[in-house]
Structure 1
Amino acid sequence: MLALLRPALWLGSCLRGYHMHAASTQQRGDTSLVLVDEARRFIQDCLLRVGVSPSKVRCISEFLVVADYRGNYGSGLNRLDYYLSDLQSGHAKVGAEPSIISETVSTAHVNGNSALGVFVGNFCMDLAVKKAEDSGIGFVVAQQSHDIGMASWFTFRAAGKGLAGIVMSNSAPTMMGPNSKSASIGSNCFAFCVKGEEYHFVLDMATSVKDIGAVEWAWANDEYIPHGWAANEGGLSTCFPSLALRTPLLFPAGGHKGYCLSAVIDILCGVLSGAQYATHITMDQNQPSNLGQVFIALDPEFFLPNFMERFDDFCGRIQNSQPADDSEPIRLPGELERMHMNYVEDLRAFAYPNSLLTKYKEVAERLCVKPIELAFDRCQSRKSF
């Protein structure tokens, strides 16, 4: 079984950019395999127990499972406990549905009504797609929304229709500005997806060096974080995720450039939409969520009929450039995620840290649902998967 766990640990470390600290083989093996279907089953059972309808449960579970499937572990099963807590406290509303405040042929202003972000995002992007199909572009802003998790999920809805998708969201202040030791803005996310005949381009990034989910995942794996990811309470860089999570204080990607990009996103998502922004965003779970988001769908062929041909040529020129290290090929955004997807498909399981599984054992007891069953309780060899 240890032979199965080692590749999972190695690949997870490479794909997430984490650096394992010096540890014994036993410490590195502090991970267990969970079949994909079992992770999905557990998520659905928990959501049903807090009053989510079966149709919505399926949507949320796929949303979280796909995040883990793509190697974005900070936004997958790791976030379930937060969603359960927000639904139970009223920070997000179980039965809420987004509604349109106003719209034109190519724009719309949406009230998320504190529904979970996945439902607000699906609603807004589908609306943007319809407008783009009619007019070439759809630009939708949302207020009173919730955390949208893996933002690229929503861009896929546009790409599946042959469109380019762009998603932005603000978030609670966790990022420091230049020469600051307090958080004044969120590590606001930006996602972009477009596909041609040969290439797919999928960008999903935070404006901080790493988002808070990556720090949480490092803590769950008992790993150090590289200096430059996050700061301690004094504003100094730390390699200990436990210290980084106390405040938290994240460093912007690229220094002032990441900070400025995050500010632009917050102006579009928070200020423009009528949602909360910057330090107005509350972390009080007893208050309804009021995050702001932007969803854009764009029909490239509305501007240029041979866009796909030119896009494939663009990607090919980047990928075929001379690598500095011949053993490391040039990769387009989204290719590392594809590698992880292939790995999960081969194994049909996720490698989760035991600390995370222990937490969800407690959640299962609290909600009176069947706890997560480990894959090696059923399977003794890779062929069994």
Structure 2
Amino acid sequence: MLWHIRPLQCLARTRRSHRTYHRASPAHRAFQKPATFPVQRGETSLVLVDEARRFIQDCLLRMNVPTSKLRSISEFLVVADYRGNFGNGLNRLDGYLSDLQMGHARADAEPSVINETAATAHVDGNSALGVIVGDFCMDLAVEKAQKAGIGFVVAKNSHHFGMASWYAFRAAVRGYAGLVMSNAVPSMVSPDTQEASIGANCLAFCVKGEKSHFALDMAASVRDLGAIEWAWSTNEYIPHGWAADESGFSTCFPNLALRALRLFPAGGHKGFTLACIIDLLCGVLSDAQYSTQIPQNQSQPSNLGQVFVAINPELFLSNFRERLDDFCSRIKDSQAENDANPVQLPGENERAHMNYVEDLRALPYPNSLLAKYKLVADKLCVKPIDLAFDRCQSRKSF
């Protein structure tokens, strides 16, 4: 019997609230404006960053993860929460522990290069954890970009690798433009169908200027599964227009959305075809699984495909950073519809959350999530997460 409790295996819980169902027409279902919906927010407790790292590493050690890999795995989970991407932070730890326990991911595995040229490489992840594969591939792409101006690396036999922008940042901090893509379990429907045939595939792009940066991290769906899993774990509703239930109705209940796995694409057919392009590059090109080849049943191993690109902008222009700053400022200075809500570039919401965490001097986690990991700590015989304070009410300044 598995020790952990996964969101997709605990969907029997429902809320005793009035249900409002919306059946969207095929042409408008994907981009229906979210309806007003009630929100139930639980109490939140604060956890010091070092304590979150300590707990993650203790759990991984119980799964025989080598000490040399502990820092990179714990860091990318903590950074996701630091940036407000809670669906890919600590919330994902139990999934990675499950993959290790069931043998889908190998704790001691290392990626290897199948073949390569000066600017490209085909990598076998060898069933290592996604973050291990991702770090290896982006570092390889940067190494090639240093010599050839661009590095294009595709990987197979990988796993869920969390926040895609983590790897794009690895390129950006070294002066390169980073582009990252990954396919995923089929969970998104075309606007004119009711069967999921493609994943809510992700794309991240990051580049830095002298005074600004552009950091995009998105899924091809309106919102990804991580956001819905997070809403479920925190006992919140989701807006209509994110996902459908098993009958094809737009739902505000995350448990029904997770049971059906029918996310709406962003922008209708445009989001769906974007997901197809990502899957062609990540799945078909890399010799990984793709589309409905990827099993929805989490008791089976997944062979995900991913793409990592690093570009040296100074190969084209010596003043690229200055031009990027000018580009960003022109968008920022454009007239907003409401002066109270100025125009924002991708990555600014994340920066606002980082400032919020720095003001708190700790990471805010819902007590429901901490209660789940208290059970995990008991099962693994590790020290539970210590709280920075006993209790505080959740507040958002972003």
TM normalised by structure 2 equals 0.87
From 135, 142, 161, the equivalent of 1:148 is 161
1:90–1:287 Cα contact (<8 Å) kept: no
Which residue pairs with 1:82 in the alignment?
95
1:67–1:76 Cα contact (<8 Å) kept: yes
From 160, 171, 190, the equivalent of 2:184 is 171
From 358, 383, 397, the equivalent of 1:345 is 358
Amino acid corresponding to residue 375 of structure 2 in structure 1: E
Amino acid corresponding to residue 140 of structure 1 in structure 2: V
CA RMSD for the aligned pairs? 1.8
2:107–2:128 Cα contact (<8 Å) kept: yes
1:21–1:223 Cα contact (<8 Å) kept: no
Question: 1:289 offset after TM fit, Å?
Answer: 3.0
1:326 matches 2:346 = no
Which residue pairs with 1:210 in the alignment?
223
- Indicate the SS of the match to 1:101: strand
- Indicate the SS of the match to 1:201: strand
Flag structure 1 segments of 5+ consecutive residues without an equivalent: 1-17, 380-385
From 270, 287, 299, the equivalent of 1:274 is 287
Which residue pairs with 1:109 in the alignment?
122
How far apart, in 2, do the equivalents of 1:248 and 1:284 lie?
11
1:275-314 aligned at under 5 Å gives the runs: 275-314=288-327
How far apart, in 2, do the equivalents of 1:162 and 1:150 lie?
20
Question: 1:95 offset after TM fit, Å?
Answer: 0.6
1:92–1:289 Cα contact (<8 Å) kept: no
CA separation of 1:203 and 1:19: change in aligned 2, threshold 3 A: farther
Question: 1:62 offset after TM fit, Å?
Answer: 0.3
Amino acid corresponding to residue 322 of structure 1 in structure 2: Q
How far apart, in 2, do the equivalents of 1:47 and 1:327 lie?
45
How far apart, in 2, do the equivalents of 1:53 and 1:162 lie?
30
From 53, 61, 68, the equivalent of 2:74 is 61
From 229, 244, 251, the equivalent of 2:257 is 244
CA separation of 1:217 and 1:302: change in aligned 2, threshold 3 A: same
Q: Deviations over 1:266-316 (max 9, x none)?
A: 000000000000000124445443100000000011112221111111111
Q: Which protein has the bigger helix share?
A: 1
Flag structure 2 segments of 5+ consecutive residues without an equivalent: 1-33, 393-398
- Indicate the SS of the match to 1:96: coil
From 141, 146, 149, the equivalent of 1:133 is 146
How far apart, in 1, do the equivalents of 2:175 and 2:272 lie?
32
How far apart, in 2, do the equivalents of 1:238 and 1:121 lie?
34
How far apart, in 1, do the equivalents of 2:210 and 2:153 lie?
27
- Indicate the SS of the match to 2:93: helix
Which residue pairs with 1:124 in the alignment?
137
How far apart, in 1, do the equivalents of 2:297 and 2:63 lie?
20
Question: 1:153 offset after TM fit, Å?
Answer: 0.4
Give the length in aligned residue pairs: 360
Q: Deviations over 1:94-137 (max 9, x none)?
A: 11100000000000000000100101011110110011110110
CA separation of 1:241 and 1:378: change in aligned 2, threshold 3 A: closer
CA separation of 1:232 and 1:285: change in aligned 2, threshold 3 A: closer
How far apart, in 2, do the equivalents of 1:349 and 1:157 lie?
24
Q: Deviations over 1:309-337 (max 9, x none)?
A: 11111111000011111111111100110
Work out which structure has the larger RCO, using CA pairs closer than 8 Å and 6 or more positions apart in sequence: 2
Q: Deviations over 1:148-170 (max 9, x none)?
A: 11000001111111000000000
How far apart, in 2, do the equivalents of 1:329 and 1:19 lie?
23
Identify which range, 217-226 or 248-257, moves more after superposition.
217-226
1:185 matches 2:178 = no
Question: 1:351 offset after TM fit, Å?
Answer: 1.6
- Indicate the SS of the match to 2:50: helix
2:45–2:390 Cα contact (<8 Å) kept: no
Identity %: 70
CA separation of 1:33 and 1:151: change in aligned 2, threshold 3 A: same
How far apart, in 2, do the equivalents of 1:298 and 1:220 lie?
38
Amino acid corresponding to residue 329 of structure 1 in structure 2: P
Question: 1:20 offset after TM fit, Å?
Answer: 9.4
From 44, 54, 57, the equivalent of 1:44 is 57
- Indicate the SS of the match to 1:183: coil
Question: 1:182 offset after TM fit, Å?
Answer: 1.3
1:91–1:285 Cα contact (<8 Å) kept: no
Q: Deviations over 1:16-68 (max 9, x none)?
A: xx999546xxx634222222222111111111111111121111000100000
Q: Deviations over 1:167-216 (max 9, x none)?
A: 00000101111211111000000000001001110000000000001001
